[in-house]
Structure 1
Amino acid sequence: MSSFPVSGELAVRAAEVLARLGADAPSSPDGPVVSRSPITGEVIGRLEASTAREVDDAISSAARTFTDWRLVPAPQRGAVVARLGQLLTEHKDDLAYLVTVEAGKVTSEALGEVQEMIDICQFAVGLSRQLYGKTMASERPGHRLSETWHPLGVVGVISAFNFPVAVWSWNTAIALVAGDTVVWKPSEITPLTALACDALLRRAAADVGAPAGIHHLIQGPREVGERLVDDPRVALLSATGSVRMGREIGPRVAARFGRSLLELGGNNGAVVTEHADLDLAVRGIVFSAAGTAGQRCTSLRRLIVHSSVADELVDRIGKAYEQLPIGSPLDETTLVGPLVHRAAFTAFEDALAKAKADGGEIVTGGGTRFADQLDDAYYVEPALVRMPAQTSVVHEETFAPILYVLTYDDFDDAIALHNEVPQGLSSAIFTTNQREAERFLSADGSDCGIANVNLGTSGAEIGGAFGGEKETGGGRESGSDAWKTYMRRSTNTVNYSTELPLAQGVNFL
């Protein structure tokens, strides 16, 4: 039986951690922004929501600061991010603790999320000396044609609870070296981690002499984020969340001709062919489907298995599921922690009920744990469900550990099943057949923004651009050339001749 912290222990330790990180502990006993730990369900902090005036002041300050920050040489801007990376390294354990307490991640995953922040800081510092443009061949003699990249403006960041610090760092580290300023509205479920990150960045800015106005934190419910969405001074709105949220945000930002970077739902699938290494597949599948209690946007939801190996694979996954340690994420032996709140638990139960109504068979899991010990914390057994077809419930993303299993006989059918859902974030194939692997990565293979071979759908590295297609929103964050989203391009033509030829051979005078 898992051991849980005694009442009040989480709140006391969270306050101590915040103090070490230089953040003020929440001191509003009736504040509407509530940090409730999914570990025990108890409230560990309350904050006041940012007022309309405070949001306007934050955007105004960010806009004013931008006019000077954009002129600071990019390598000097990178110094802030370098210092942030150092502070994150020094305080890795403390920040990971807050991630565990507020998001419910097991210790190793929380530490991994902070490491991801450190990694993106290192990437961004290197990027600060590599914001390259191009020189193109001009068709006119005595002319030079090139492009340059310039800072964009104020970047609004709306982040979700499941990666409460990493996604902020992806956006903020890149935006700062690009010459932008940032206004961050975190999930109202994880306000304490946001206080910690803001304190560390403010300290980093002070240590290197950068203006405090390069970053602002606003907290509160949906209405607070809507002010970022609708303010014309916010040049780029980066939002991570549900497809429903994206449907509302996208048109509103577009209506004011702003830019949006949307990271939305991911109903991720993996194909397992008859040529797969099943030992490897089981390990990759179990982590992708059950890790973080199925609450990653890249969590594996659909398993599309060749009929010749389906029974064996399902049996092996089922046995692995039954051995997963479920309990308090503060216990280092735990691999599956809690769902974030009651609504997530209700969605889990509703999805399983729909799956059974559609003819699905629950192979293992689907039960609850510790309900007799905890009143408002929700621990579930990851569910493995065999489905006769890809029904409507399989087309929906349920943010919980449910893995639907479908079978196929023809590889074309496997690709079609995989691509049939409206989301397009992450995907995987397990095979030792090169033709199958290459087909999956080709233009008529996976239609997702991320496609993996012989590893699961979750656990992306920061060096590649992260994001997906279709209802996932099309945004790209983190590595590769995702930095271009945070800058504006200028095409430049210089005439160093004494003539004035026009393009395309046009004669005017």
Structure 2
Amino acid sequence: MNIKELSSLKVLENNFGTSTGLTWFASGPKIDSFSPTNGEYIGSVFSTTKEEYEEVIAKAKETQLFWRDIPAPKRGEIIRLLGERLRKEKESLGKLVSYEMGKSYQEGLGEVQEMIDICDFAVGLSRQLYGNTIHSERPGHRMYDQYHPLGVVGIITAFNFPVAVWAWNAALALVCGDVIIWKPSEKTPLCAIACQNIISEILKENNLPEGISSVVTGDAEVGKWIAEDERISLVSATGSTRMGKQVAETVARRLGKSLLELGGNNAIVVTPSADLKMTIIGAVFGAVGTAGQRCTSTRRLIVHENVYDKVKESLVEAYKQIKIGDPLDSNNHMGPLIDRVAVSMYLDALEKVKQQGGNILVEGKVLEGKGYESGCYVTPVIAEVENHYEIVQHETFAPILYLIKYTGEVQNAIDLQNSVKQGLSSAIMTTNLREAELFLSQNGSDCGIANVNIGTSGAEIGGAFGGEKETGGGRESGSDAWKAYMRRQTNTINYTANLPLAQGIKFDL
């Protein structure tokens, strides 16, 4: 496969640049994209220069004044058209995601489906950007709150979900009356170009101006421009905790708003009453899916001593069945890591596991030979460890599953789960109602996502997505996450001929 096979997305040439919506331009250093599936060169994107970035932001600011005055349901109509276009392009865009990022084709299709789902959600939302009516303590007064567009939203996304996370932000921000500037990962730039081509076509067909949706390409320096820019009202950043801390500090210094979706160190608690067949399926998909490169990937399996040996035996047997290879081949369960830097981090983590006393149950290695020429294919690992090991306390973006034994009550397992700095996704496998409810209570999981009898990986767009602690505290996608993209305003209307003051204060002249 090569990029020309993706012609339905109009990604035909090897020179791509910055888009302000309809016009492409850029003259900075070239970013080459290589597929981790076979190591082949796909195409190149020119980076955005500072001068070109200034043009993009100026156009976005100008266009936002126009876009915010379009009624929200009319903005929703544009997102409806985006969802329809994505349905038509699902197969080819899913294939591009799989080829450039390395996840399985089924997961690539699933990622595009997430884009379609959030468009559907946003269309309905466009008629429900509601506030609240509040009873006033003063007679003849009415109070209410309402929401207005923020302005320009900067979106910084990671390589592992190269299109879906943009859509989560873009669909909501655009419906809310904001315009967007997207800085995609330099590891998956062509996925961003493809998405921008799709939305640009829709904007052009509906006679809408440039600047509603823009892409700026480049390395971390471009992300820094966005974080520092006072003209950008909200910076939504997805990536590592290290990156998120830098963005948060920079944005906070200018008293801006940030929405952060950062690292995860997700655990499944397995109690004595768990359905072990469900447990194994959930744990294996959570640990191996996307080659362990999801923020919600299962990193730790915390298993009660009564079922520990049985779970261990079943896991090892299941791992023997994992097929690794070209992610576009639907017979394979796992594709490659994103690049050789990720492979080095994987190998380094395995060394640390051994140095800190872990027992490797399923050995890890880099695969070589026919079909593995990219050097990015590795085998999934299972390691018996103690939760306090330094390596276990950190997120490794690779298919490494830590097996941890707990004894006694389920609260002991919950405490182990909560004892890491990250707080994104969590799950418990149990058929005991009391254990399930405890896990979901204030004394249970401290994560933003807590599941019962499903794994840590795979969230629906209807619920708010995000986590606590070093995961950043942000919420994207469903529920009332849309409020992050708007500014709140409280209004009081006096419809009497008098001016009573609040709290009964008298001020007579």
Pair 1:15-2:4 in alignment: yes
Q: CA deviation at 1:34?
A: 1.4
- For 1:71 and 1:472, locate their aligned partners in 2 and report how far apart those are by CA, in whole Å: 35
| Whole-angstrom distance in 2 between the partners of 1:47 and 1:196 | 12
Report how far residue 209 of structure 1 moved: 3.0
Letter of the aligned partner of 1:442 in structure 2? S
Contact 1:88 1:118 in 2 (8 A): yes
> Aligned partners of 1:457, 1:374: CA distance in 2, in Å?
29
Q: Structure 2 CA distance, aligned partners of 1:285 and 1:292?
A: 13
The 3-state SS of whatever aligns with 1:392 is coil
Report whether the alignment pairs 1:446 with 2:434: no
Unaligned 5+ segments in structure 1 are 1-9
For 2:394, the aligned partner's letter is E
Cα distance, 1:369 vs structure 2: 2.0
1:387 aligned residue (370, 385, 388):
385
Alpha carbons 2:325, 2:372 under 8 Å: kept: no
- Counterpart mapping for 1:198-237 below 5 A: 198-237=196-235
Matched, 1:413 2:412: yes
- Contact 1:175–1:182 (Cα < 8 Å) also in 2: yes
Give the whole-Å Cα distance in 2 for the aligned partners of 1:461 and 1:150: 27
- The 5 A counterparts of 1:249-268 are 249-268=247-266
Q: Distance in 2 between matches of 1:16 and 1:59?
A: 33
**Cα offset, 1:371, TM superposition:** 4.6
Q: Which of the numbers 165, 168, 171 marks the counterpart of 2:169?
A: 171
User: Match for 2:193 among 176, 191, 195?
Assistant: 195
1:309 matched residue in structure 2: 307
Q: Within 1, Cα distance between the matches of 2:255 and 2:31? A: 31
Aligned equivalents of 1:502 and 1:370: distance in 2?
Answer: 77
Give the AA of the match of 1:15.
K
- Whole-Å Cα distance in 2 between the matches of residues 140 and 454 of structure 1? 51
Does 1:67 pair with 2:65? yes
AA aligned opposite 1:480: S
Asked if the contact 1:106–1:332 (Cα under 8 Å) also holds between the matched residues in 2, the reply is yes
SS class of match (2:42): strand
Matched ranges for 1:132-147 at <5 A = 132-147=130-145
Return 34-43 or 295-304, whichever deviates more: 34-43
- Residue in structure 1 matched with residue 457 of structure 2 by the alignment: 458
- The 2-side partners of 1:353 and 1:473 are apart by 29
CA distance in 1, matches of 2:123, 2:474: 22
Contact 2:303 2:403 in 1 (8 A): yes
Contact 2:64 2:152 in 1 (8 A): yes
Whether the 8 Å CA contact 1:160–1:240 is kept in 2: the answer is yes
Q: What is the Cα deviation at residue 365 of structure 1? A: 3.5
Q: Is the 8 A contact 2:148 2:488 kept in 1?
A: yes
User: CA 1:198–1:389 in 2, change beyond 3 Å: closer, same or farther?
Assistant: closer
Contact 2:72–2:176 under 8 Å retained in 1: yes
Separation in structure 1 between the aligned mates of residue 414 and residue 345 of structure 2, nearest angstrom: 28
Residues 86/373 of structure 1: CA separation in 2 closer, same or farther (3 Å cut) = closer
What does residue range 14-53 of structure 1 map to in structure 2 within 5 Å?
14-17=3-6, 19-23=7-11, 25-27=13-15, 32-53=30-51
CA distance in 1, matches of 2:28, 2:179: 32
Q: Displacement, 1:389?
A: 4.1
Deviation per residue, 1:300-354 (Å, 9 max, x gap): 0011100110110011011111101111101110111001111111111111111
Aligned with residue 361 of structure 1, among 356, 359, 368:
359
CA distance in 2, matches of 1:59, 1:371: 47
2:23 counterpart residue number? none
Letter in 1 for 2:419: E
Amino acid of the structure 1 residue aligned with 2:8:
R
Superposed, 1:427-446 pairs within 5 Å as 427-446=426-445
* 2:104 counterpart of 1:106: yes
What is the deviation of 1:120? 0.3
3-state SS of the aligned residue for 2:15?
coil
Q: In the alignment, which of 231, 236, 239 is matched to residue 238 of structure 1?
A: 236
Q: 1:233-277 deviations in whole A, cap 9, x for unaligned? A: 000000000010011110110111110001000010110001101
Code of the residue aligned with 1:57 in structure 2: it is E
Q: Structure 2 vs 1, CA of residues 450 and 360 (structure 1 numbering), >3 Å: closer, same or farther?
A: same
> What SS does structure 2 have at the residue aligned with 1:312?
helix
Cα distance in 2, alignment partners of residues 99 and 344 from structure 1? 18
Letter in 2 for 1:20: S
Runs (4+) off by over 3 Å: 28-31, 371-376
TM score, norm. by length of structure 1: 0.96
Provide, for residues 146-184 of structure 1, a one-character-per-residue CA deviation record: whole Å limited to 9, x for no partner.
011100000000000000000000000000000000000
* Contact 1:81/1:204 (8 A) holds in 2: no
Using the TM superposition, give the Cα deviation of residue 373 of structure 1 relative to its aligned residue in structure 2, in angstroms. Answer: 5.5
Contact (CA 8 Å) 1:371, 1:378: kept in 2 or not? Answer: no
Say whether the 8 Å CA contact 1:39–1:377 is kept in structure 2: no
Kindly indicate whether the alpha-carbon contact (under 8 Å) linking 1:280 and 1:454 is maintained by their aligned counterparts in 2.
Answer: yes
Q: Is the 8 A contact 2:302 2:413 kept in 1?
A: yes
Deviation sequence 1:433-455 (CA, Å, 0-9, x none): 01000000111100000000000
Counterpart Cα distance in 2 of 1:327 and 1:44: 19
Q: Please tell me whether the aligned partners of residues 37 and 374 of structure 2 are also in contact (alpha carbons under 8 angstroms).
A: no
CA distances 1:362-404 after superposition (whole Å, capped 9, x unpaired): 1114123235654433111110111144311000100000000
Contact in 2 for aligned 1:276/1:432 (Cα 8 Å): yes
How many percent of aligned residue pairs carry the same amino acid? 54
- State the AA in 2 paired with 1:396: H
Instruction: Provide closer, same or farther for how the CA distance between residues 389 and 84 of structure 1 changes in structure 2, counting only shifts above 3 A.
Output: closer
CA distance in 2, matches of 1:377, 1:42: 12
- Aligned-residue Cα RMSD (Å) equals 1.4
For residues 52 and 320 of structure 2, what CA distance do their matches in structure 1 show? Answer: 50
AA aligned to 2:440 is: L
Distance change (3 Å), C-alpha of 1:192 and 1:502: same
In structure 2, C-alpha distance between the alignment counterparts of 1:228 and 1:23, rounded to whole Å: 26
Deviation at 1:24, TM superposition (A): 5.2
Partner-residue secondary structure (3-state), 1:138: coil
After superposition, the Cα gap between the structure-2 partners of 1:74 and 1:373, relative to the gap in structure 1 and judged at 3 Å, is closer
| Rounded Cα–Cα distance in structure 1 between residues aligned with 2:13 and 2:473 | 37
Aligned equivalent of 1:326, options 321, 324, 327: 324
| d(CA) in 2 for partners of 1:459, 1:41 | 28
Deviates more, 1:386-395 or 1:416-425: 386-395
Cα deviations across residues 75-118 of structure 1 (Å, max 9, x unaligned)? 00111111110110001011001101111011110000000000
Counterpart residue number, 2:75: 77
Q: What amino acid maps onto 1:304 in structure 2?
A: I
Q: How many residues align?
A: 497
